[in-house]
Structure 1
Amino acid sequence: MSAEVSGVRIGVEERRARLRARQLAAVDDVAEVVEGLVALHATDPATVFLSVAARLCRPSGAIAAVEEALYGSGSGPGSGPALVRMMAMRRTMFVVSRESAPDVFAAAGRDIAARERTKLLEHLARGGGWDAAWLAEVEAEVEAALDRHGESGGARLSALVPRLREQVVVGRGKPYETTQNVASRVIRVMAAEYRIERRRPAGSWTSGQFRWARAEPLPERPVGPAREAVVRAWLRAYGPGTEADLKWWTGWTLTEVRKALKAVGAETVRLDDGAGHILPGHILPGDTEPAEPPPPGPVLLPGLDPTPMGWQDRDWFLPRSHRAELFDGTGNVGPTVWWGGEVIGGWAQRADGSVVWRQLTDRGAEAAGAVDRAAAELVGLLGGVRITPRFRTPLERELSA
């Protein structure tokens, strides 16, 4: 990016202060949490609930509040879901507000959906000889079944649409050759295109066995303005950040990132990366005032929480020496313990329901005692529900044993 670097320098302490003020401060409702984070990671259903609970002034009501926001009450005008699940940045499942969904889909979801459709057609052609016309007929039958019968799980949809039970050959001619139903792949692509959407699961709030319903069509957005909206939201929540941070978070090319940064008029600052380097960073225009964070306090975030996954470069809030314990081999973060805008440890739930944690950075007796109390409060919030992260990390496995 060609913008000149301003004289403003933003150091590690200011970055942590912004993180505390914008992402870890307690707020009153679910909508404020989602707006403050742009999007909630939703690959693991439990993450959505625990990410919100960690940031609510009254976390005891978080489970019911998130369920209402995700699925609606189902009675009367305005009772529909306020939050939307969709595949978006980095081909990852997210929960976003219904208001921001059109921009997120146009900026990051639409291209992913197109690639998913291409892969599905190749899969069907190789394994069963079916083409785009056959797929279109099956998809029309799925939509018709949902129109007639309402929300339905995958098994019920397969019963209503027999062609979803067709078998496709995987790895033809290979030692591992097998067959699979086409149902999951077809439903996945329809969801990626936001023709159908996930509704209340068949089970508890931790279940990933969702029912499906016809999706309310999203308003069309041109890709350029949509990307500008997403970058503006990211800078508001995660700024300052580098081009590399934003490229990683969005999954876009560097050219696309630079174009969006220019369009929003992002200012360039001198940014301390926490490893002894000063890099060009980016903020929203005029966003140079020091943050006023709340007093330091303990925050226990779940695996895949948006905050530790918000930047590619994490040295300023998490020492590299602790990465191997807190991340799995593909870059997914496990449960983390925060104090003063930095990660000071990790936590896990044991089979008996207790929550235990390990301190990786010593911030004194006050911090350790506050984390102990927060862990006990989390046990009460979970109410006996067992949480096992979708992606297990070394420290979480060790603590939960």
Structure 2
Amino acid sequence: MTSSGAVAASARAVVGLHATEPVSVYLSAWARSGATQADVDDALYRERSVVKQLAMRRTLFAFPVDLLPAVRGSAAARVAAQQHGLLARSVVTAGLATDGDAWVERACDLALERLAQEPATTNQLRNQLPMLAVRLPRPENPTSPPAPVAARVLTVLAASGRVVRGNNQGSWTTSKPVWTLVDDWVPGPAGSAEPWGAAEGYAELVRRWLWAYGPGTEADIVWWLGATKSAVRQALADTRAVAVSLEDGAPAWLHPDDVDPVAAPAPWAALLPALDPATMGWRGRTFHIDPRTAKAVYDRAGNGLPTAWWNGRTVGGWTQQADGRVTVVPHVDLPRTAIIALDHQADELTQRLDGQVLRTTFHRPQQEGDRPVTAERVP
């Protein structure tokens, strides 16, 4: 397997890597496969074996390329319809048009016509297409100044699978995508393939989720998928998922080929970035984190912050000092073996980052009174 192939394998192992924060793709792939920054760049921008796609819960993912038709026909299509409707209503409310749907379609068509000539950034599209420079109130914060509509039009196009984030004009820590038509970017059959039907697409996503995250509850899958209970129940039936019980007696589901007992793995430690699939894989998280400490590694919206893991449990977070040194911030007492293993992970990540201090858009509670891991804390 090539180094960039390991990146695709890492994404496939967890269905897809979260990509809302650009650095998450790199750090999640490194934690799972040792992939370097160059390896991830190769997978994303040269081989394109992993492609960014807006999907579940209006979240950006980096999916294995073969999964795109299933995603586009199900979770992404649901987001596209929601965002199209929101934008259409905003257009009417702002008095730009009486037919909001027609306005959105026209704006999308203009953007597609321009991108058919040459890929472009959001700013380039806004500067070249006056319709995309129109300003509307921000739906998530109506009291803030109105913003150009270009980003919202591109959100509709990206979710619908008509355009894709191509090359990145920023560094690996920033997102400045060059928007590209899907057929011009995605290699092989996946690029030209029609989106699957919604039921078929949801079944494939649930099948892969069960393999990666099962056992899980219906509530876990509904939350992760951002879909309705009826869609999830149909997908569970279509995948012939096996009903099981969790330790607390709650009903849950397993992949039909994953019902054999699994031996406990060797002890392991990992430092994972914000929005890593492991922190965002389930709605119910008490099996891997103490509820009393969960608020230290999840923000108020439930977004997972940088976390430290030991033997399958979240035991704290991690942060960086001003000089770029990575330090672990424990929230539970740890044995010496865990401290040594997590310290080793912190040293390796420090070397990887080479003095670069990462920034996150999420509030990080563990920075309030950070405590680096030290052997003196072991009882």
TM-score (norm 2): 0.88
Counterpart Cα distance in 2 of 1:268 and 1:203: 46
Q: Any idea what the Cα deviations from partners look like across 1:214-250, whole Å, max 9, x if unmatched?
A: 1124422111121111111011000111111111111
Shift in alpha-carbon separation, 1:152–1:367, aligned structure 2, 3 A: same
Consecutive unaligned residues of structure 1, counting only runs of 5 or more, are: 1-26, 73-78
- Contact kept, 8 Å, 1:128 with 1:167, in 2: the verdict is no
Q: Is the aligned partner of 1:211 residue 2:178?
A: yes
Counterpart Cα distance in 2 of 1:181 and 1:263: 43
1:219-234 aligned at under 5 Å gives the runs 219-234=194-209
Q: Residue 151 of structure 1: CA displacement? A: 2.6
The structure 2 residue matched to 1:69, chosen from 43, 50, 75, is 43
Counterpart Cα distance in 1 of 2:235 and 2:316: 35
Q: Any idea what the Cα deviations from partners look like across 1:292-327, whole Å, max 9, x if unmatched?
A: 454212100111100121111111111111111111
Q: Is the aligned partner of 1:192 residue 2:167?
A: no
Q: Residue 167 of structure 1: CA displacement? A: 3.3
The structure 1 residue matched to 2:168, chosen from 186, 201, 204, is 201
Counterpart Cα distance in 2 of 1:300 and 1:382: 13
- Contact kept, 8 Å, 1:200 with 1:210, in 2: the verdict is yes
The structure 2 residue matched to 1:237, chosen from 205, 212, 216, is 212
The structure 2 residue matched to 1:48, chosen from 9, 25, 36, is 25
Shift in alpha-carbon separation, 1:400–1:102, aligned structure 2, 3 A: farther
Q: Is the aligned partner of 1:104 residue 2:71?
A: yes
- Contact kept, 8 Å, 1:266 with 1:285, in 2: the verdict is yes
Counterpart Cα distance in 1 of 2:25 and 2:144: 36
Letter in 1 for 2:337: E
Counterpart Cα distance in 1 of 2:144 and 2:22: 31
- Contact kept, 8 Å, 1:334 with 1:396, in 2: the verdict is no
- Contact kept, 8 Å, 1:199 with 1:213, in 2: the verdict is yes
Shift in alpha-carbon separation, 1:288–1:176, aligned structure 2, 3 A: closer
Q: Is the aligned partner of 1:379 residue 2:350?
A: yes
Aligned twin of 1:166: 134
Q: Is the aligned partner of 1:31 residue 2:8?
A: yes
Letter in 2 for 1:332: N
TM-score (norm 1): 0.83
Letter in 2 for 1:151: P
- Contact kept, 8 Å, 1:71 with 1:199, in 2: the verdict is yes
The structure 1 residue matched to 2:107, chosen from 130, 133, 138, is 138
- Contact kept, 8 Å, 2:199 with 2:231, in 1: the verdict is no
Alignment partner of 1:164: what SS? helix
Q: Any idea what the Cα deviations from partners look like across 1:353-382, whole Å, max 9, x if unmatched?
A: 011112223341111011111101101111
The structure 2 residue matched to 1:370, chosen from 335, 338, 341, is 341
Shift in alpha-carbon separation, 1:376–1:142, aligned structure 2, 3 A: same
Counterpart Cα distance in 1 of 2:138 and 2:304: 31
Letter in 2 for 1:109: A
Counterpart Cα distance in 2 of 1:233 and 1:249: 12
Q: Residue 93 of structure 1: CA displacement? A: 1.6
Q: Is the aligned partner of 1:249 residue 2:224?
A: yes
Alignment partner of 1:115: what SS? helix
- Contact kept, 8 Å, 1:244 with 1:312, in 2: the verdict is yes
Shift in alpha-carbon separation, 1:145–1:353, aligned structure 2, 3 A: same
Letter in 2 for 1:146: L
- Contact kept, 8 Å, 1:128 with 1:168, in 2: the verdict is no
Counterpart Cα distance in 1 of 2:359 and 2:278: 19
Counterpart Cα distance in 2 of 1:165 and 1:400: 47
Aligned twin of 1:152: 120
Structure 1 window deviating more from structure 2 (231-240 vs 62-71): it is 62-71
Letter in 1 for 2:91: L
Shift in alpha-carbon separation, 1:40–1:398, aligned structure 2, 3 A: farther
Alignment partner of 2:295: what SS? helix
- Contact kept, 8 Å, 1:325 with 1:394, in 2: the verdict is yes
Shift in alpha-carbon separation, 1:288–1:135, aligned structure 2, 3 A: closer
Alignment partner of 2:271: what SS? strand
Letter in 2 for 1:95: A
Q: Residue 112 of structure 1: CA displacement? A: 1.4
Q: Residue 252 of structure 1: CA displacement? A: 1.7
Consecutive unaligned residues of structure 2, counting only runs of 5 or more, are: 184-191, 373-379
Counterpart Cα distance in 2 of 1:288 and 1:168: 51
Q: Is the aligned partner of 1:388 residue 2:356?
A: no
Q: Any idea what the Cα deviations from partners look like across 1:18-72, whole Å, max 9, x if unmatched?
A: xxxxxxxxx971111111100111111111111111111xx2x421111111112
Letter in 1 for 2:64: S
Report which structure shows greater RCO (CA 8 Å, sep ≥6). 1
- Contact kept, 8 Å, 1:350 with 1:400, in 2: the verdict is no
Counterpart Cα distance in 1 of 2:258 and 2:181: 41
Counterpart Cα distance in 2 of 1:293 and 1:333: 25
1:313-332 aligned at under 5 Å gives the runs 313-332=284-303
- Aligned-pair identity (%): 34
Structure 1 window deviating more from structure 2 (282-291 vs 133-142): it is 133-142
Alignment partner of 1:55: what SS? helix
Q: Residue 169 of structure 1: CA displacement? A: 5.9
Q: Any idea what the Cα deviations from partners look like across 1:233-274, whole Å, max 9, x if unmatched?
A: 0110001111111111112222222221122111111211xx
Shift in alpha-carbon separation, 1:187–1:380, aligned structure 2, 3 A: same
The structure 1 residue matched to 2:332, chosen from 336, 356, 361, is 361
- Contact kept, 8 Å, 1:128 with 1:169, in 2: the verdict is no
